[in-house]
Amino acid sequence: MNKITSLLMALFFTLNTIPSFGEDSKPPFNKNDFIASAGSQAVLSLSITDCIMYAFKNNSEVRIKKLDPKKGADDVKIAESAFEPTFGIEYLINSDTQLSFMPFITGSEKSVVKDTYANASVQGRITTGATYSLELSTDKHESDSIYQTINPAYLTNPQITVTQPILKGAGININRSYIVIAQNGKKQSEMEFQNTLMDTITRTKTAYYNYIHAVKAYSIAKLSLKRARNLMRINKARYNKGLISTVDLLETESALVERRKFLITVEGYLKKAEDYLKIVTNIVDDPKLWDTAIKTTTKLEVKAHDLDLVRSLESAFAYRPDYEIQQLSLDNTNVLVNLTHNGTLPELDVLGSYGLNGLGDSYGNSFNDIDTSYNDWMLGIKLSVPWGTGDRAKYDKAKLQKEQALLGLQRLEQNIILDVRDKVREVDVQYRQVKASLLSKKAEKKNYEAQKERYTAGQVSTHDILDYQDKLAQTELDYTKALINYHIALANLDNAEGMTLVKNDIKIEEK
């Protein structure tokens, strides 16, 4: 019975590659709820769409990745805050009492001066690199000096100060560098979230299809056992009539035992495939569903596909998240190159300020006395040349990072081309395998029916009819395996093209 042992070996290797679900252990749960629902013998009917929705529900990896775009939006706000104005208020009271230098004139041994100073300002920076400061200050000056004719004296001084870089730190692109980097980072996190969703869908589909494969294989194993039982019943009757030898009967009994053993083995892998599907879909976390039997409702069909490698490649380069992530990374290195190159330039700033003065015996009069005739202005330049190699080293490092990013993008492009070509080829191969294996199954079934008639007529030996049963079961499994591999190949092609979300009608809500 070597052939029955190898009959469903493909099933063994397929299911044996299912990852161990112990590694993906979930957070602690109430064991009593799970124990209470154990052995409920309930049946849960699931379509492939149902499984995808379950897979997204309470998926920790999806939840983690979903937060990254929100963090990225905060990073953008942080970068933009560099150009938000700052409002400041200052209020000081200063009293100075000291010995008088001229007591014979002031008529007092001490001099008392009291100042009350207030300042309100708005400061900030604009995207050209210019810094600005708008200030309004007032000063109440009181003194016991006989020389201060206005006592107390109120001084008011509005002033504007602007500093505009000409070389280092100048330009809109330079000053918006960290905003652009943050925006690209946000887009990258969005693409990574999409990638996680795509991988989750592909993993879920693969688990669903493998479970269907296990169910079909179990049915084939049961049918193979049933054929052996029928043959055993026939052979016992023929043996009692002296039509077959003891060897024929023993060979039939041996085949029956082997097929029982194999059915038990396949059942074990069926349960393992079912458990893995429950883990991928997070059903295992639900105390009401964890021990239910899963019934698949999605029918696997084979449709002719107009495969086009060029179209698939265009789709991949337009929609694959990993490709866009790499492009955004290259954009960021370009920004850093420009920023660090600007950092090697000398600082050359144009400085300017203009202010007015007002003086009176009250705050109101000091404001009224403000006039352009009493002004305070300044204009100049400031030059600072860096001494050392730190800024140059940053620039050189950024150029190396850009070179690495370019090489990484080229390598990714090559890998995408090879990946898409491989996935397109795999769909084509599996499509033809399905067609060929279906024809083989139909032909083998007709042959088996014909051989059964010959066996009844005594023209075929027991060994031969068992061999024909093995061949039929093998072609049935081959067809099932080809059908499953075909649908897995389609899911992998969608992923390679970056079309998994579109093909499954999954839309990401933007908030």
- Within this chain, do residues 301 and 201 fall inside the same structural domain, yes or no? yes
Torsion of CA 312, 315, 317, 320, to 10 degrees: -110
Question: In 18-139, which residue ranges form alpha helices assigned H by DSSP?
Answer: 31-37, 48-56, 60-80, 103-106
| Closest alpha carbon to 448 in 254, 158, 223 | 223
Statement to judge: residues 418 and 490 lie in one domain = yes
Q: Which of 332, 426, 441, 346 is nearest to 386 (CA)?
A: 346
Question: Coil, strand, or helix at residue 133?
Answer: strand
* Inside any domain, residue 481: yes
Q: What is the CA radius of gyration of the chain?
A: 41
Q: Contact 287/29 with Cβ under 8 angstroms?
A: yes
- DSSP strands (E only) in 144-207: 153-165
In a domain, 278, yes or no: yes
Q: In terms of domains, do 46 and 158 share one?
A: no
- Nearest in space to 251 (alpha carbons), one of 488, 465, 36: 465
Q: Is 509 a domain residue?
A: no
The domain that holds 66 is classified in CATH as 1.20.1600.10
Bond into 321 cis (ω within 30): no
In a domain, 26, yes or no: no
165 and 188, same domain (yes or no): no
Q: Which residue has the tokens 């075929």?
A: 460
Residues 404, 490, single domain; the answer is: yes
Q: Are 291 and 198 in the same domain?
A: yes
The answer to whether position 243 is within a domain reads: yes
290 and 205 in one domain?
yes
386-419 exposure pattern, b = at least 16 Cβ within 10 A, e = fewer: eeeeebeebbeebeebbeebeeeeeebeeebeeb
Are 466 and 432 within one domain?
yes
Is 123 part of a structural domain of the chain? yes
Query: Which pLDDT does position 108 carry in this prediction?
Result: 58
Q: Tell me the H-state helices in 81-176.
A: 103-106, 172-175
Please give the pLDDT value at position 13. Answer: 40
Q: Which long-range contacts (CB under 8 A, 24 or more apart) does 229-233 make?
A: 229/256, 231/255, 231/462, 231/465, 231/466, 231/469, 232/256
Alpha-carbon span 208 to 125, nearest angstrom: 57
pLDDT computed for residue 149 by the predictor: 73
- Largest Cα–Cα distance in the chain? 154
Q: Are 120 and 132 in contact (CB under 8 A)?
A: no
Q: Please give the residue range of the domain that contains residue 276.
A: 2-21+36-75+179-332+397-503
For residue 458, give Cα distances in angstroms to 98, 198, 296, 373, 378: 135, 58, 43, 129, 119
State whether residue 351 is helix, strand or coil.
strand
Residue ranges, the chain, pLDDT below 50: 1-26
272 and 149 housed in the same domain:
no
Question: What are the backbone dihedrals phi and psi of residue 383, each rounded to the nearest 5 degrees, phi first?
Answer: -120, 135
Instruction: Specify whether 101 is located in the same domain as 235.
Output: no
Edge-to-edge strand list for the sheet holding 131-143: 86-99, 110-125, 131-143, 153-165, 347-360, 371-384
Q: Based on the fold, state whether residues 184 and 320 are members of the same structural domain.
A: yes
Is 337 among the domain residues?
no
Helix axes 462-497, 177-240, angle to 10 degrees: 170
What is the residue-wise DSSP string for 438-477? HHHHHHHHHHHHHHHHHHHTT-S-HHHHHHHHHHHHHHHH
Give the number of domains in the chain. 2
Q: Cα separation of 294 and 270, whole Å?
A: 11
Beta strands in 82-150 (DSSP E): 86-99, 110-125, 131-143
Query: Is 28 inside a domain boundary?
Result: no
Residue type, 458: G
The pLDDT, as a whole number, for residue 493 is 96
The pLDDT of residue 156? 87
CA 59 to chain centroid:
13
The span from the CA of 392 to the CA of 388, in Å, is 8
Task: Tell me which residue of 429, 407, 425 sits closest to 417, measured CA to CA.
Answer: 425
Distance CA 319, CA 69 (A): 18
Check if the beta carbon of residue 162 is closer than 8 Å to that of residue 128: no
Q: Tell me: do 205 and 302 sit in the same domain.
A: yes
